[in-house]
Structure 1
């Protein structure tokens, strides 16, 4: 699933989001499981345990350094890999990569066994398959577990669910990495890798002063026009680069990671730059430009559109928005954004070479 076409993969994410229920908080951690180290990795510290982490459904205590980690959060594997451990199980979302690990992170697997890939079709995690992996930690930080799903998974191992203070699928990558660092005993290493990626983004912003104060938004032509809100990782990245999001973006979208907009609100796309994730960068722009409510906006007339091929490694890295994928993204996205906001209508916004 989620391998080639926009509609199935975004629909599945939306389906997962719509399953989320408003529930009262509950606490606890899962039962300990018999486990053997798949790959102990580096960065773990026995002195960091026990550790208790708060989340949407209360708190979870992890008694000792985990050896068999399963990531239910759709991008949590990147944080685990960045911190020197290899999950025994991951959840597929984008790309159909071996182990659900993109090319920006694949080298981190090293000589360890490639993780077993689980799927989430919108009905929730595959509990039986997760149990068969005998996890001693289940991570669902970048996710949308319901209370029922959290309780079910907690029977097998301690579960760290999504933070309460953000929308589901809305945790910033920095905090995602830090939470996972604490969970696996690598808090100091988490701070280091977060700083490294933040430094790369900060350097890109400093080298492109035109970004500061300019407005931008990220969208995809899914069932019309779907716009991503401020808590989506794509929007986080624009903000970190210096861009401002439309003022009324979140009031229109509500407490979701994104939403479809009506024809009457395509003005939301008329920013200094609009980043489109599209299936086909040669055909989809022409289709968008036939839309009467969109084609006459200044962002179109003045050539300030950025098109990202959604199912490419580049597009998948942008969707992931993790501590490992973002350096890969900025090498490609920043030149496109610079061309879009340079003040000249003659500058083409070209696709990256690779």
Structure 2
């Protein structure tokens, strides 16, 4: 998943992330540093020590962290939402300064932008991480290997991905609450989650047709790449009330997504398909050349939602964080509403900003 999506397909970035996290060294114990990289809200000293379970056991954080490095691809947003600024972030989408998207930049305040750790294709940049003198390393939305976890743990406590979900599959709610506990702000994290969940509820209440409709998220990468139920993009749809195709996970297996064969084009036969594309006009035309897809009702009735992957909106759709979601919903909900309003004359238009 690591790496900028500029000039590449989304699924290629996703696939490279799995490769990246499958090839290096990294992980967590405790060790501290002093200087704060945040203009944070203070967490209560009574919140520490706190022990957090994850895929490789558990990690104890003895005191309030002040120098936080995020290895998880979207973990910085939860940190920022809780009033702290990481000293280091990992770049994934957009090439943003500090790896902070436009939906989160106001949370920086007067603090310096974090140091950005690049995707080198060999795993977390352990030497650069060590040089930042972290007292906490977050890898919640990620796919650390055990070896990587162990290596990073030599520098600071590491909170790896939770074991109950696929790698890169933690729901944004859990991600926010795990990071809230790690920062001694469990109650604040729950408040943040409740606030965004209220945005989802309003969208569903305003669009009752969502709960009666099916949808799927896909990208035209080397054919058709479809996201499974444990991928945050698919959860974006189910959190709005949509149902996913019945056989989706059976076809994909335990990955976040997979390329489907032409014989399984029927998985796209939903009330709406959200396509993450490089170029709407070109990709739409290419899709229509596949007669199996062009014959589906969703294509014939133009009930497709196109999201340009290299735009801020496209990046937010893939980010799926406590800060990006309000930004996403403001743009995605009107598109989905137009797609499933029951009127074939309604055009699904892309947001202008």
TM-score, L = length of structure 1:
0.95
Deviation at 1:31, TM superposition (A): 3.6
Structure 2 unmatched runs, 5+: none
The Cα offsets for residues 3-25 of structure 1, whole Å up to 9 and x where unpaired, read as 41233x5324313325667xxxx
- Residue of structure 1 equivalent to 2:331: 332
The aligned runs of 1:1-354 (5 Å cut-off) are: 1-7=3-9, 10-18=11-19, 29-354=28-353
Distance 2:37 2:19 in 1: 35
In structure 2, the residue corresponding to 1:322 is in which secondary structure? coil
Distance 2:347 2:273 in 1: 14
Deviation at 1:282, TM superposition (A): 2.2
Deviation at 1:294, TM superposition (A): 1.1
Contact 1:177 1:194 in 2 (8 A): yes
Structure 1 unmatched runs, 5+: 22-27
Deviation at 1:37, TM superposition (A): 1.1
Q: 1:265 to 1:43 in 2, by over 3 A?
A: farther
- Following TM superposition, the consecutive aligned residue runs of length 4 or more in structure 1 with deviations greater than 4 angstroms are 18-21
Distance 1:232 1:291 in 2: 26
Contact 1:6 1:310 in 2 (8 A): no
Distance 1:222 1:29 in 2: 35
Deviation at 1:33, TM superposition (A): 3.0
In structure 2, the residue corresponding to 1:282 is in which secondary structure? helix
In structure 2, the residue corresponding to 1:54 is in which secondary structure? strand
Deviation at 1:40, TM superposition (A): 4.5
Residues matched between the structures, number: 347
TM-score, L = length of structure 2:
0.95
Q: 1:113 to 1:19 in 2, by over 3 A?
A: closer
Mean Cα displacement is larger for which, 117-126 or 164-173?
117-126
Distance 2:235 2:263 in 1: 26
Deviation at 1:293, TM superposition (A): 2.1
Contact 1:16 1:123 in 2 (8 A): no
